[in-house]
């Protein structure tokens, strides 16, 4: 196991050196293309706001439509994965009267945190954050963007949901079926499961029908797919929410379970008075991860919904986990369709029955 870790570490170090040299060469020769700042949807509380983003050379990805050809979708996907990051870019961000500066890492990722003196306006849950590139910068119009941060208001619970095979049909359990779905489609042609949009909107509105319960999406998909997944939610009428994706660098690509558990723990700590509903599928380790969350955070989880997308043998294992979770006072419902989950949620008083 030691030699494998050494190979991964050495390969990662070589990749970093190559990327750094490539960036320096582009700067010196004038080959560095237009730069874009990509702020990702953030989250926060009345005391602090959190936002992640990335600085890249413009990727040339075209605006998707339902009539795009397979070739267009494939070209856009290849451009996403061939992205050229801007290492150590300097960023300035503003929210109301607050201003912060930060430096991106070697992969172009940056993290922003605003410590607030006064609570944000309660007239809206989403708040704009202006982001500006300070270095490298060629002119005043390059490297400016506006992102959004969600600060829940009037929430009775939050929702943390997986994406692949929970919200969007991905066939993750079959590599040869997953690859063409991922590479050859776009936000319009990738399909959600039936009823997901209505169910998630009902969860957002809560049992009173007028609440604003936050929904957070956690996935092992790479950050390269962020724009596609954000557009997918918007196109199909699924409530917007912060997306927590994954860096597919060699040291972290196998830590998918740790990634999801870490995000959930962070959200529970950020909103200590807010209970949560967890939604996932049986294709990977969602039931095991959610079981661990229930064990470590008693009283914080109201219910768990797991979509059955794998074998009968796997369903049997999930039912065994459900029995253990039930002994801890939480219902884990293994469902084959969205309507069954919605019926359970209505009976439990999470959503309006109608």
Question: Do 199 and 327 reside in the same domain of the chain?
Answer: yes
Which of 101, 120, 150 finishes a domain?
A: 150
Mean pLDDT over 146-168 rounds to 96
CATH of the domain at 174: 3.40.50
Average pLDDT over residues 310-337: 97
pLDDT in the model for residue 86: 93
Q: Are residues 290 and 199 in the same domain?
A: yes
Domain match, 208 and 329 both:
yes
- Is 12 part of a structural domain of the chain? no
- Determine the Cα–Cα distance for residues 227 and 167; give it in Å rounded to an integer: 16
* Residue 203 lies inside a defined structural domain of this protein: yes
Same domain? For 242 and 259 the reply is yes
134, 150, 166 - which closes a domain = 150
Q: Kindly state whether residue 335 falls inside one of the protein's structural domains.
A: yes
Within this chain, do residues 135 and 247 fall inside the same structural domain, yes or no? no
Same domain, 194 and 316: yes
pLDDT in the model for residue 176: 80
Q: Are residues 314 and 331 in the same domain?
A: yes
Q: Quick check: is 26 in a domain?
A: no
Domain final residue pick, 89, 118, 150? 150
* Res. 51: pLDDT tops 80: yes
**What's the farthest any 2 CA atoms get from each other in the chain?**
65
123 in the same domain as 53: yes
Provide, rounded to the nearest whole percent, the portion of the chain with pLDDT above 90: 75
Same domain, 136 and 182: no
β pairing state of 243-246 and 98-103? unpaired
Q: Are residues 171 and 269 in the same domain?
A: yes
Residues 133, 188, single domain; the answer is no
pLDDT at 344: 97
Q: What is the mean pLDDT of residues 145-154?
A: 96
3-state secondary structure of 348: coil
- Please report, to the nearest 10 degrees, the dihedral formed by the alpha carbons of residues 92, 224, 149, 239 taken in order: 160
Cβ–Cβ < 8 Å for 339, 312: no
Q: Which domain, by its residues, includes 61?
A: 33-150
Per the CB < 8 A criterion, the answer to whether 344 and 279 are in contact is no
Are 132 and 91 within 8 A, CB to CB?
yes
* 61-75, 198-212, 252-266, 326-340: the lowest-pLDDT one: 252-266
Q: Report yes or no on 77 lying in a domain.
A: yes
346: exposed, middle or buried (Cβ count in 10 Å: 0-12, 13-18, 19+) = middle
What is the pLDDT of the chain when averaged over all its residues?
90
Could you give the number of structural domains in the chain? 2
Q: 198 and 319, same structural domain?
A: yes
pLDDT at position 122: 84
- Mode of pairing for the β-strands spanning 90-95 and 126-135: antiparallel
Report the CATH number that the domain containing residue 89 is assigned in CATH: 2.60.40.10
């Amino acid at each position: 196991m030691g030699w494998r870790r050494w190979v991964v570490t050495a390969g990662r170090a070589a990749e970093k050196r190559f990327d750094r040299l490539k960036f320096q060469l582009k700067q010196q020769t004038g080959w560095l293309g237009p730069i874009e700042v990509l702020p990702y949807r953030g989250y926060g509380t009345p005391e602090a706001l959190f936002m992640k983003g990335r600085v890249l050379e413009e990727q040339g990805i075209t605006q998707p439509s339902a009539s795009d050809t397979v070739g267009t979708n494939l070209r856009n996907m290849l451009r996403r994965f061939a992205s050229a990051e801007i290492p150590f870019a300097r960023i300035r961000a503003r929210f109301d009267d607050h201003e912060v500066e930060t430096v991106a890492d070697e992969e172009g990722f940056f993290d922003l945190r605003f410590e607030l003196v006064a609570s944000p306006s309660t007239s809206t849950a989403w708040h704009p954050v202006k982001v500006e590139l300070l270095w490298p910068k060629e002119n005043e119009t390059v490297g400016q963007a506006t992102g959004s941060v969600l600060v829940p208001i009037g929430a009775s619970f939050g929702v943390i949901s997986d994406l692949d095979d929970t919200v969007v049909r991905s066939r993750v359990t079959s590599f040869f079926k997953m690859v063409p779905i991922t590479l050859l489609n776009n936000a319009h042609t990738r399909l959600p499961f039936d009823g997901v949009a209505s169910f998630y909107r009902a969860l957002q509105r809560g049992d009173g029908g007028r609440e604003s319960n936050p929904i957070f999406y956690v996935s092992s998909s790479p950050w390269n797919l962020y724009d596609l997944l954000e557009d997918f939610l918007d196109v199909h009428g699924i409530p917007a929410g912060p997306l927590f994706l994954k860096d597919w660098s060699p040291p972290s690509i196998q830590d998918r379970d740790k990634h999801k558990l870490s995000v959930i723990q962070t959200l529970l700590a950020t909103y200590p008075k807010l209970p949560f509903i967890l939604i996932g599928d049986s294709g990977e380790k969602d039931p095991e991860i959610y079981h661990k969350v229930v064990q470590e955070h008693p009283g914080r989880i109201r219910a768990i919904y797991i979509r059955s997308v794998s074998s009968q043998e796997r369903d049997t294992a999930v039912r065994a986990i459900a029995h253990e979770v039930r002994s801890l006072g939480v219902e884990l419902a293994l469902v084959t369709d969205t309507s069954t989950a919605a019926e359970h949620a209505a009976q439990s008083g999470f959503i309006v029955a109608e």
